[in-house]
Amino acid sequence: MDPINPLGERGIDVLVCGAVCSLLPEPDTLRTEGRPPCTVVLDHGDDVLFTQAAMASHNPAAGRIVVHPTVASGDRLLWHDILRALGARPQVAQATREEQEHAVHAALQAAPPCRLTVLRAHRIRVALWADLVHLHRTTRADLVLVHHAELPDGLAHLLRHCDHRIIDTLASVQKLHSLPTVSGQA
């Protein structure tokens, strides 16, 4: 891959800019070589079947980890929830958000390839989405973010600057999570 800027950089994790711009990076510069893009599941109607399909696929021994985040403000508990889903027992009272994020990176770098699905992504701030995309790019975890609402402008803008794919039908979610499609539902 040729450098993408005068500094000689060959790729970017996520490009976040303040103003909406019409100049977008070439898709190849956003791609992590040898990796699929992040998957964003758009559950426009907050359909319980989307959540059930994801939850049914949870099998850490098979490399399928599903996180149903604790409802709370701040990012610290999401990292805690991911650590617990990975089988770690984080010390919530002592660990800072940064320490927990670092522990998640270390755990996923040491783990075999896996798929990490995060439900309720509509409750996650854009900055944390960017951190999760970085997690996808720097570990062997394939990231699936299930967003149970329409995409807000800020998140849509972020996604224009990172390698991702969007799926928004129940049949696609069931296929992603290796569950048989229920006839008549899509």
Higher-pLDDT residue of 180, 40: 40
Is the separation of the CB atoms in 141 and 113 below 8 Å?
A: yes
- Assess if residue 2 is contained within a domain: no
Q: What are phi and psi of 39, to 5 degrees?
A: -110, 130
Predicted confidence (pLDDT) per residue in 114-170, tens digit = 999 999 988 888 888 888 888 888 888 999 999 998 888 888 888 887 888 999 999
- Assess if residue 73 is contained within a domain: no
- Assess if residue 40 is contained within a domain: yes
- Domain of 164 in residue numbering reads as 27-67+115-176
- Assess if residue 16 is contained within a domain: no
- Assess if residue 62 is contained within a domain: yes
**DSSP string spanning 138-155?**
HSSEEEEEEE-SPPPHHH
Tell me how many domains the chain contains.
1
Q: How confident is the model at residue 14 (pLDDT cuts 50, 70, 90)?
A: very low
Q: What is the pTM of this model?
A: 0.77
- Assess if residue 110 is contained within a domain: no
Predicted confidence (pLDDT) per residue in 87-117, tens digit = 877 665 567 778 888 888 998 998 889 999 9
Residue 68: name the closest of 111, 107, 108, 124 by CA: 124
